Amino acid sequence: MSILINKDTRVVVQGITGRDGSFHAKKMKAYGTRVVAGVSPGKGGESIDEIPVYNSVWEAVHTKGANTSIIFVPAAFVKDAIMEAVEAGIKLIVCITEGVPTLDIIEARRYATLHGVQIIGPNCPGIISPEKSLVGIMPGNIFIPGHTGVISRSGTLTYEVVQNLTKAGIGQSTAIGVGGDPVIGLFYKELLQMFQDDPETDSIVLIGEIGGDAEQIAAEYIKNHITKPVTVFIAGAAAPAEKRMGHAGAIISSGSGTAQEKWKAFEQVDVPVAKNPSEIPSLLLSQLKG
């Protein structure tokens, strides 16, 4: 089983005629994702790799039955793209675009939440349920189907961790890159609960990074609500204070949000923390065997 996406997911690509949109639409389709439509205002009637292009998300939903959107439009237009998808009846939105103004995503996220629509991102690599569906920019070849859920704030670090899991024979049910911005859609608590409720996910890997207190909140949530084994890695242990490291949300401010603080939070609730990504498979397997 998987969470959020599966073989029946029907994807519309917003911004499909742009460089990134067209490239990844083809990659997703080649992976086996049901990419049923693309949207690019003014270019309706065209096609990309036999994927029909429409002028609006509403047309894609009502003509092709799209239920999930992936957004590649420029940052300045993301808020409008999200709101258009919500109004059209899309239920899951994956926003790949980086550099989205914080106030825009706050407004768009609130609008989506009021309409019962889930958002992943922005500034994220997307979601994959191996051999079922890929809605994002992840390298599908490193993933294998299995029973470990992966939640990560870092895109490229996700790939390193998954490569280690795959080499150890540990398959993944679903892997989600939540994004590295200060304000995003679904985050640790919601996704942890989804994996907890998924009968075919037997364990969870959580990849965090410095900055903010999301990992500390996740640790407390795991203590009170999650019964499945969880293994954690926190990136940024050597990062200097007050300096942003890669992501807008990855910054230690006034001594708060350090890797050491986050390690301590998980260790206090008996969640093993890997000091190196290569340690994750052995820590996970020791819990599963125990």
Question: Whole-angstrom Cα distance, residue 108 to residue 265?
Answer: 31
Question: Whole-angstrom Cα distance, residue 182 to residue 237?
Answer: 19
Q: End-to-end alpha-carbon separation of the chain, Å?
A: 24
Q: What residues act catalytically?
A: 247
DSSP state of 255: T
Close Cβ partners of 257 (under 8 Å, ≥ 6 residues apart) = 210, 211, 212, 213, 251
Q: Checking DSSP bridges between strand 273-274 and strand 230-235, what pairing results, if any? A: parallel
The closest of 112, 134, 138 to 124, measured between CA atoms, is 138
